[in-house]
Amino acid sequence: SLYFYKTDFVEKKGVNLTPDDRGYYFGDGIYEVFRVYNGRIYEQQAHMDRLQKSAADVRITLPYSLEQIGDILTKLVQLNELVEGTIYMQITRGEAPRAHPFPAEATPVLLAYTTEVKRPLTTIQNGIHAISLEDIRWLRCDLKTLNLLPNVMAKQTALDRGVQEVVLHRNGTVTECSASNFMIVKDNVLYTHPANNLILHGITRAVVLRLANALHIEVQEVPFTLEQLQQADEAFITGTTVEVTPVLTVDGSPIGTGQSGPVTRKLQLEFERTFA
């Protein structure tokens, strides 16, 4: 399976990463994870818009135009004959000896590859369990940067405690999860944290909110608390890799019936229709 690295499609051994890549020293870069369904890149334009925003706000000049990046990814999918899987793409600020200031002359480095990771059908069907955990990240969680140590730590805490995911909160207000957004349903109203600086503006989140509107499910993009979560009828996470996955318990307490709920089911069915 081929990689795209800097300027060329190469085998993995052709990826000549240097320790001077600022992604390695500082996590100084941005990324996107795309889903490929039936050989096609899902919601490509939304990912490109988000990439552009991340790049602008961390002041990385994209090494190619968005259109060229789109062409590179399409070519990568073709070359790798990818039908179902993901594309990982990152752009770091470039290569320079380790020093905090932006290097005067460094070319941003684009790395992209595909995986054949399948849809997590079992957890989509059966749901997952979660614990709540304080969200100790910075105040620009809307930027998709390579600095994922808090997310990695949070995920591992969940796994160490025998559950699959964390529900992050700031002073009791639920934000999102380690690599997905979080939604609850109460009295047939869908609630999720507003798309501000405290969460990643998930592509799947936006798709699900659009589908909810189409299904005449009322949507409230307002913050809610851990207590409100415990009183909710349903809960689920959304993300490129998890799609719409029910959350059955949080901190050991069942949400609603503790089973995947009817609104979640409806959204899952409708979601499948968007890429099928």
Which residues in this chain contact ligand PDD in the complex, by CB under 6 A?
Answer: 33, 151, 176, 179-181, 200, 202-205, 238-241
What phi and psi values does residue 128 have, to the nearest 5 degrees?
A: -135, 170
- Minimum CB–partner distance for residue 120 and ligand PDD (Å): 12
Catalytic (active site) residue 186: no
- Minimum CB–partner distance for residue 175 and ligand PDD (Å): 9
**Of the two residues 151 and 245, which places its CB atom closer to ligand PDD in the complex?**
151
User: Which of the residues 6, 144, 155, 186 is marked catalytic?
Assistant: 144
In angstroms, rounded to a whole number, what is the distance separating the alpha carbons of residues 127 and 265? 11
- Minimum CB–partner distance for residue 223 and ligand PDD (Å): 16
**Of the two residues 3 and 34, which places its CB atom closer to ligand PDD in the complex?**
34
* 85-92 vs 29-37, strand pairing mode: antiparallel
Angle, CA of 137, 138 and 144, to the nearest 5°: 90
- Minimum CB–partner distance for residue 17 and ligand PDD (Å): 19
DSSP codes, 137-205: --S-TTS-BS--HHHHHHHHHHHHTT-SEEEEEETTEE---SSSEEEEEETTEEEE--SSTTS---HHH
What phi and psi values does residue 165 have, to the nearest 5 degrees?
A: -150, 160
* 218-220 vs 189-192, strand pairing mode: parallel
**Of the two residues 90 and 95, which places its CB atom closer to ligand PDD in the complex?**
90
Structure tokens at 225: 């608390």
Residue 49 and residue 134 in contact, taking contact as beta carbons nearer than 8 Å: no
- Minimum CB–partner distance for residue 182 and ligand PDD (Å): 9
**Selection from 193, 143, 152, 156 nearest residue 29 by Cα:** 143
**Of the two residues 114 and 238, which places its CB atom closer to ligand PDD in the complex?**
238
**Of the two residues 95 and 135, which places its CB atom closer to ligand PDD in the complex?**
135
Q: Catalytic residue numbers?
A: 144
